[in-house]
Amino acid sequence: MSLNSHRFAAIRGHQSGDEYYTVVCEMNLVPRLFLFNEATIPAELRAQRLINKGRIPEIARYITENPKSYIFSALTASIDGKVEFKPYKLNGKDSDVGELEISGDARLIINDGQHRRAAIEKALSDNPELSKDSIAVVFFKDKGLKKSQQMFSDLNRHAIRPATSLARLYDHRDPLAEIIRRVVYEAEVFKGVVEMERTTLAERSIKMFSFSGIYNATKYLIADDYRKKIEQTTKNLIQFWDAVGEQFGKWKGVRIGNISASELRKDYINTHGVILQAIGLSGRDLLKTFPNNWRKKIKRLKRINWQKTNPIWDRRVLVNGRVVKNNNSIILASNIIKKTYGLELTNEEKVVESKLKKGEINADRHKKK
pLDDT of residue 208: 95
Co-location of 349 and 313 in the same domain:
yes
CA of 48: how far to CAs of 78, 105, 121, 144, 352, in Å?
Answer: 12, 21, 18, 13, 41
Give pLDDT, residue 161. Answer: 66
Domain finish residue from 123, 157, 191: 157
Mean pLDDT of 223-247: 90
Q: 17-31, 38-52, 179-193: which has the minimum mean pLDDT?
A: 38-52
What is the pLDDT at residue 1?
61
- Percent pLDDT > 90 in the chain is 63
Mean of pLDDT values over 121-125: 94
Backbone angles phi, psi at 46, to 5 degrees: -105, 165
Last residue of a domain, one of 157, 189, 215: 157
Element (H, E) at 25: strand 18-26
How large a percentage of the chain has pLDDT more than 70?
88
In a domain, 342, yes or no: yes
| pTM of the predicted protein model | 0.67
Across 23-57, b (16+ Cβ under 10 Å) vs e yields bebebbbbeebbeeebeeeeeeebbbeebeeeebe
The stretch 31-35 carries a mean pLDDT of: 82
> Phi-psi category of 106—alpha, beta or left, where left has phi over 0 and alpha has psi -120 to 50?
beta
Task: Tell me the pLDDT tens digit for each residue of 97-114.
Answer: 999 999 988 888 888 888
- According to the model, what pLDDT value does residue 368 have? 40
Together in a domain, 179 and 99? no
Average pLDDT value over all residues in the chain: 87
Side chain identity at residue 18, one-letter code: D
Domain co-membership, 138 together with 38? yes
For residues 87 and 168, membership in a common domain is answered with no
In this structure, is residue 30 part of a structural domain?
yes
| 228 and 80 within one domain | no
- Tell me the pLDDT band of 313, cut-offs 50, 70 and 90: very high
- Least confident range of 7-11, 161-165, 360-364: 360-364
Residue 142 forms part of a structural domain = yes
Label residue 75 by pLDDT band (50, 70, 90): very high
Query: Which residue in 122, 112, 127, 128 sits closest to 60, CA to CA?
Result: 122
The confidence score (pLDDT) of residue 17 equals 86
**204 has a pLDDT exceeding 80:** yes
Count of domains forming the chain: 2
Last-in-domain residue among 157, 192, 224: 157
Q: Tell whether 12 and 128 lie within a shared domain.
A: yes
- Domain of residue 33 covers 6-157
Q: Are residues 255 and 216 in the same domain?
A: yes
The 10s digit of each residue's pLDDT in 131-170 is 999 999 999 988 765 666 676 666 666 666 667 777 777 7
pLDDT at 52: 78
d(CA 302, CA 305): 8
Rounded CA separation 102/93 (Å): 23
**Average pLDDT score over residue span 341-358:** 94
Residues 176 and 283 in one domain: yes
- Residue 280 maps to a domain: yes
Residue 35: pLDDT band with limits 50, 70, 90: low
177 shares a domain with 145: no
The predicted structure's pLDDT at residue 295: 96
In this predicted structure, the answer to whether residue 26 has a pLDDT above a threshold of 80 is: yes
Question: Going by DSSP bridges, is the β-strand pair 75-80/134-141 parallel, antiparallel, or unpaired?
Answer: parallel
Q: How confident is the model at residue 311 (pLDDT cuts 50, 70, 90)?
A: very high
What is the separation, in whole angstroms, between the first and last Cα of the chain?
A: 59
Judged by DSSP in three states, 112 sits in: strand
Q: What is the Cα gyration radius of the chain?
A: 27
Q: Answer whether residue 1 is part of any domain.
A: no
Question: Do residues 130 and 180 both lie within one domain?
Answer: no
Q: Is the pLDDT of residue 252 over 60?
A: yes
Q: For 170-197, how does the pLDDT look when each residue is reduced to its tens digit (9 = 90+)?
A: 777 788 888 989 999 999 999 999 998 8
Is residue 274 assigned to a domain?
A: yes
Residue 79 lies in a domain: yes
Question: For residue 366, what pLDDT is reported?
Answer: 41
pLDDT of residue 264: 94
32 with 180, same domain? no
Q: How far is CA 4 from CA 87, 101, 103, 106, in A?
A: 21, 10, 7, 11
pLDDT confidence bin for 320, thresholds 50/70/90: confident
User: Same structural domain for residues 256 and 134?
Assistant: no
